[in-house]
Amino acid sequence: MNVVVLLGAPGAGKGTQAPLLSDRLGIPVVATGDLFRAAVRDGTTLGMDARRYMDAGQLVPDEITVRLLLERLSRPDAGHGVILDGFPRTAVQAKALDDALVDRGERVSAAVLIDIHGDELVRRMSGRWICRTAGHPYHEVFSPPNVPGICDLDGSELYQRRDDQPDTIRLRMAQQLSALSDVIEHYRSSGVLHTVDGLLPIDGVAEAIDRELAAAGIRPAGEPSERAAG
Ligand code: ADP
Ligand code: ADP
């Protein structure tokens, strides 16, 4: 079973790459940001809790986030592997994921860091529009939809996230980047970290991710997968 973690600062391109990679590997995407936004929309207690943190640009506490993620991973469609977008975001979450996988005799197959610097992140988030149904991201300049305001993939309406306004973007970068470096270190020390240049165009990033995963012996679901030596 392949468990691929996509890592990167807010705006790096995780949500753009995740569905493309999902098509190629034949395993679903689990994005904690999307799960939280769905909970907010549904008005659940968890959603109301999470919203306070999201609006303040802060990480939602680990306990809430880990519970949500593990519940999602226990559903049948995640049984053959999963692409994680936006989880783990702290060392505590990374450890909780490792523990949950060990219980199933599994481990994180690869953690791919989409590497990109601050100025570009702000440009990306401030032009981002996502779709109501599945959170598919677009950008008004870099990746516009075919029909303005409509998702190419599922036809739903596009909107701008509340936390993608300049003030909250700055807060998110200030409050989330140091935890990201802890997560990067976690996977570097376990030997599964792969880094791709996030400044490439979208298809260039996708190709770089494919190269890294192929080198790690990760093949589409259904094909025999071999783990890289060492
Ligand atoms: P982005 O795509 O900009 O990185 P996400 O959609 O992944 O943002 O997440 C939106 C917000 O949801 C985050 O700013 C944070 O408040 C919350 N969130 C998402 N994933 C996590 C996580 N793993 N741990 C804590 N908070 C999270
Ligand atoms: P994340 O999920 O890491 O927060 P997204 O995938 O939502 O990031 O991308 C942030 C914004 O940047 C979106 O508007 C998206 O369309 C755009 N984008 C993503 N990848 C690229 C890229 N390689 N080049 C230019 N724009 C990109």
Q: Nearest ligand, CA of residue 13?
A: 2
220 lines ligand 2 (CB under 6 A): no
Does a structural domain hold residue 58?
no
C-alpha dihedral sign at 171, 174, 179, 180: positive
pLDDT, residue 222, reads 65
Does a structural domain hold residue 40?
no
Does a structural domain hold residue 60?
no
Does a structural domain hold residue 35?
no
User: In tens digits, what is the pLDDT along the chain, a chain of 230 residues?
Assistant: 899 999 999 999 999 999 999 999 999 999 999 999 999 999 999 999 999 999 999 999 999 999 999 999 999 999 889 999 999 999 999 999 999 999 889 999 999 999 998 889 999 999 999 999 999 999 999 999 999 999 999 999 999 999 999 999 999 999 999 999 999 999 999 999 999 999 999 999 999 999 999 999 998 766 655 554 43
Dihedral of the CA atoms 135, 176, 78, 207 (nearest 10)? 70
Q: What is the DSSP string of 18-83?
A: HHHHHHHHT--EEEHHHHHHHHHHHT-HHHHHHHHHHHTTPPPPHHHHHHHHHHHHTSGGGTTEEE
Q: In angstroms, rounded to a whole number, what is the distance separating the alpha carbons of residues 224 and 121? A: 37
Please check whether residue 212 is in contact with residue 115, taking contact to mean a CB–CB distance below 8 angstroms: no
87 lines ligand 2 (CB under 6 A): no
pLDDT, residue 226, reads 52
Does a structural domain hold residue 144?
yes
Residue in 191, 198, 142 with CA at minimum distance from that of residue 10: 198
142 lines ligand 2 (CB under 6 A): yes
Q: In angstroms, rounded to a whole number, what is the distance separating the alpha carbons of residues 31 and 179? A: 18
Does a structural domain hold residue 122?
yes
Does a structural domain hold residue 6?
yes
Beta strands in 152-192 (DSSP E): 158-159
Q: In angstroms, rounded to a whole number, what is the distance separating the alpha carbons of residues 73 and 96? A: 12
Please check whether residue 113 is in contact with residue 34, taking contact to mean a CB–CB distance below 8 angstroms: no
The number of CA neighbours under 13 Å toward the Cβ of 56 is 10
Range(s) of the domain holding residue 221 = 2-27+79-229
Q: In angstroms, rounded to a whole number, what is the distance separating the alpha carbons of residues 184 and 89? A: 9
pLDDT, residue 220, reads 79
pLDDT, residue 223, reads 67
Which CATH number covers residue 211?
A: 3.40.50.300
- Ligand 1: distance of its center to the CA of 142 in Å? 22
- Count: domains in the chain: 1
Cα-flanking dihedrals φ and ψ of residue 139, to 5°?
Answer: -135, 135
Q: In angstroms, rounded to a whole number, what is the distance separating the alpha carbons of residues 71 and 94? A: 16
Residues 6+ apart with CB under 8 A from 138: 128, 129, 130, 131, 144, 145, 151, 158
Does a structural domain hold residue 183?
yes
- Ligand 2: distance of its center to the CA of 22 in Å? 16
Q: Nearest ligand, CA of residue 209?
A: 2
pTM over 0.85: yes
